[in-house]
Amino acid sequence: MKGEVKIKSKLKWVALFGLFLSAFSIFIHFLLARFTQMGIADYQSSVTFFSWRPIFQKTHFPTNSPSYRRLWGPVKRLESLYPDSNPRGYYADPDSQTNGFLFVRIQGGFHDIRNSICDVVVVSRLLNATLAMPEIQQTTSSKGISSQFKSFAYLYNEEHFVLSLVKDVKVVRTLPKHLKGARRKKEIPVFKVPHSASPYYYFRHVLPVLKRHSVVELVISDGGCLQAILPPNFDEYQRLRCRVAFHALHFRQEVQELSAKILQRLRALRRPFIAFDPGMTREALAYHGCAELFQDVHTELIQHKRSWMRRRGIVKGKLKVNSAEARINGSCPLMPEEIGILLRGYGYSTDAIIYVSGGEVFGGQRTLIPLHAMFENVVDRTSLSTPWELRSLYGQEDSLLDTPLGPPPFIEEVKKVKAWKNAGPRPRPLPPPPARPKSYNIEGWWGWVAESDNEPDSTVMELRTNAHKLLWEAIDYLVCVEADVFIPGFDRDGKGRPNFASLVIGHRLYQSAASKTFRPNRKEAVRLVDEIRDHTYQANQTWLKSVRRHLRKTLLDGIIEASNKSKPLSFLSHPVPECSCLRRDSFEVSKNSSSVSTSQVWRALGVTHRCPAWMNTGSVSQFKDKENEEDIDDDDSVSALFFRQSGGNHEGGGEVSTKEENQFEDQEELENGER
């Protein structure tokens, strides 16, 4: 009996201990659920396995080989180019007494917003106006987004923006109350500013009204309200643009933290990576007449958009364009497959990491299949982050449904039919058809193409997604700027102006000019791609040398070409020479160097300003060594180049010998020196 009592007492203690553990676990569960939005996201991200599984053919990745320097190393002739956007002469602080308030509404996508904000700050200083925080229409028009972030603060850090421009422009978060009321009553003057207006437009038209009413509202819809190239005596305003774009416009903390995590996950493998921006949006394809690049319903969608753009005067050309000719002429984007062929031809191995940016790739993931076939480590922001990390960017959003859930009203429809049959004598007018919302049922999501010449109205969820795209592109922007190599598929948007990729190129040119940024000549690239397609993708030495010569040439010539083509349309796409300087010791290096192409590049870019003394750090001799070193590729497969190799069997060519590579590099150095 005593033994049974002892056993029962032990069981009771075990049961009590189990209940205690259960209660404790429930308490911990509720505690974690309570702080899910705040602290648990970081914990989850540290233990989460992402969808990306890196695949590398070689565990050892040498970083001191000539091949590494050719593929990933800096551009030697641009290593002396440093960012310098500080004022270079007398620059007065903003007046405490201004001419009035400037309120701005900005429409458009990510690159339009960034260009417009920089222009608005310059206009505020031109007019001696107090700038109210710009309003981003793409966020204010989106219903149900988090109330935690409003308008400008949805994308950028307001506090940093205000503090960074203290010595340039007076910035306030909102208009005074009496002016807010006047704006609601539409009692303040409004200007729909033309694209690329000159400074004299604001002096003649806006400034007198601003002085008279003490407030002016500007509506910017074309991605910029000030001309890109200002008169020579406005150079300080160009440097102000650089200070705004590259120093004052910081994304809000949540965006920067997630971007830093993605970069950390890319760098954790201790391997460099390539950032690729396809630039394939429906608007850009329609504007440039590239519909026939797709052989399905996407062609109809592009043509529908082009027709819509022609009716509004955006497109001046014909409705039907020969897309094959446009592609050969370099007017169409390079497809991901073509970019992959160029990268493989340049020498990047199949296990190179490629980060695909862009909020939208028209045609969907199907267009990226060839790129995935050529490279094993193709990633994007979704494969390097978790769903809750992306959701944390949006904040607490309302749950929106386009149509309420519930059973269909069959009974009411029967009653309506009976009422219709029993109503009055005939004939009588037919009732208007019910308003049919945009639906994706029988015809598919493209069914509206055949119904109307106009674009369908965006649903509530689509408006919210447009706001989310700003955050996605902000993440991609930061990753692309920090990438070891960047290559764009297209550098124009749906209005023929510089796009997202152009802003990235301009930022990289300002921040780290020597970083590898390819700017392929699309006309030449298409010729090279078609040439190897005709040879069933069997690459020979001549073709490899042509690809390498072309891409290496674009590292320098692309910058000079951008100064003539991109800069007149967008200053931020090419902020040189106004926002750059040359190290003082670089002048001595160029004199002693056997190659004269370095000084020629500086003259072509117009860079003559010397950097301050505190920037003259680093070893000059190291720069000399790099200037004269030869690039050698020690592993070039020239047969079946774009598929996985087994062993060392290379039909139809063999490896490019070191001697031939040296001769090729020497010849190219001479060609560069003659230009």
Q: What is the pLDDT of residues 508-536, one digit of tens each?
A: 999 999 999 999 999 999 999 999 888 77
Residue 144 pLDDT > 90, yes or no?
A: no
- Which has more confidence, 49 or 609? 609
Is residue 173 scored above 70 in pLDDT? yes
- Does 252 have pLDDT greater than 90? yes
Q: 56 has which bridge partners?
A: none
Amino acid at the residue 449? V
Q: Could you give phi then psi for residue 567, rounded to 5 degrees?
A: -60, -40
Residue 418 binned pLDDT confidence (cut-offs 50, 70, 90):
low
Q: Which two tokens stand for residue 47?
A: 């233990």
CA–CA separation, 273 vs 267, rounded Å? Answer: 8
| CA distance readout (Å), 40 to 36, 65, 292, 387 | 5, 43, 48, 13
Q: What is the mean pLDDT of residues 331-343?
A: 94
Confidence of residue 298 (pLDDT cuts 50, 70, 90): confident
What are the Cα distances from residue 191, in Å, to 215, 239, 286? 11, 26, 29
| Sequence-ordered list of residues with C-beta below 8 angstroms from that of 212, at least 6 positions apart, any chain | none
Q: Is the pLDDT of residue 413 over 80?
A: no
Average pLDDT over all residues of the chain: 79
Pairwise CA distance, residues 622 & 401, whole Å:
62
Q: How many CA atoms lie within 13 A of 597 on its CB side?
A: 18
Distance CA 209, CA 532 (A): 62
pLDDT at 338: 94
pLDDT of 289 > 50? The answer is yes
- 67-81, 291-305, 400-414, 627-641: which has the minimum mean pLDDT? 627-641
CA distance 134 to 172: 10
Highest mean pLDDT among 183-192, 462-471, 652-661: 183-192
* Residue 311 pLDDT > 70: yes
Q: Radius of gyration over alpha carbons of the chain, in Å?
A: 30
Q: What is the pLDDT of residue 259?
A: 95
Whole-Å CA distances, 194 to 104, 122, 178, 223, 528: 14, 16, 28, 10, 40
Distances (CA, A) of 595 to 152, 163, 549, 550, 669: 49, 45, 18, 20, 8
664: CB partners within 8 A, 6+ apart: 545, 548
Inform me whether the pLDDT recorded for 157 exceeds 50: yes
Name the residue type at position 384: L
What are the C-alpha distances in Å from 17 to residues 5, 26, 27? 18, 14, 15
For residues 318 and 149, what is the distance between their CA atoms, to the nearest angstrom? 43
Cα 149 to chain centroid distance, Å, stands at: 21
Rounded to a whole number, what is the largest CA-CA distance in the chain?
Answer: 107
Centroid of chain to Cα 453: 30
Residue that the structure tokens 């493998």 belong to: 269
Question: Within 13 Å, how many C-alpha atoms sit on residue 116's CB side?
Answer: 26
pLDDT at residue 593 greater than cutoff 90: no
Q: Which of the four pLDDT bands, split at 50, 70 and 90, describes residue 388?
A: confident
Q: What pLDDT was estimated at residue 219?
A: 93
106 phi and psi angles, rounded to 5 deg: -115, 125
Burial degree of 134 (CB within 10 A; 0-12, 13-18, 19+): buried
Beta bridge partners of 610: 582
- Helices then strands (H, E): number in the chain? 26, 13
- When pLDDT is averaged across residues 473-481 and rounded to a whole number, the result is 95
The confidence band for 669, taking pLDDT boundaries of 50, 70 and 90, is very low
Q: What is the mean pLDDT of residues 604-633?
A: 59
Query: What local confidence, expressed as pLDDT, does residue 631 receive?
Result: 43
Q: What is the mean pLDDT of residues 70-76?
A: 91
Exposure pattern of 234-250 as b/e (b: 16+ CB <10 Å)? bbbbbbbbbbbbbebbb
Decide if pLDDT at 624 tops 50.
no
Looking from the CA of 525 toward its CB, the CA atoms found within 13 Å total 30
Tokens of 214: 């003490």
The pLDDT of residue 61 = 73
Span 438-447, pLDDT tens digits? 544 434 455 5
Instruction: Choose among 100, 133, 70, 85: nearest CA to 212.
Output: 100
| pLDDT tens column, 77-110 | 888 889 999 998 888 999 889 999 999 999 988 9
Return the minimum-mean-pLDDT range out of 254-258, 277-281, 329-333, 395-399: 395-399
Q: CA 345 → CA 533, 541, 637, distances in Å?
A: 13, 10, 9
Q: Residue 130 — very low, low, confident or very high, per pLDDT cuts 50/70/90?
A: very high
Lowest average pLDDT, out of 335-349, 423-437, 627-641, goes to 627-641
**Global pTM value:** 0.82
Mark residue 476 as left, alpha or beta (left: phi above 0; alpha: psi -120 to 50; beta: remaining): alpha
Average pLDDT score over residue span 303-327 = 89
CB-based burial, 320-349: b 16+ in 10 Å, e otherwise:
ebebeebbeebbbbbbbbbbbbbbbbbbbb
pLDDT at 588: 56
Interval 413-426 mean pLDDT? 63
The secondary element (H helix, E strand) that includes residue 171 is strand 171-172
Q: Please report which confidence band the pLDDT of residue 6 belongs to, taking 50, 70 and 90 as the band edges.
A: low
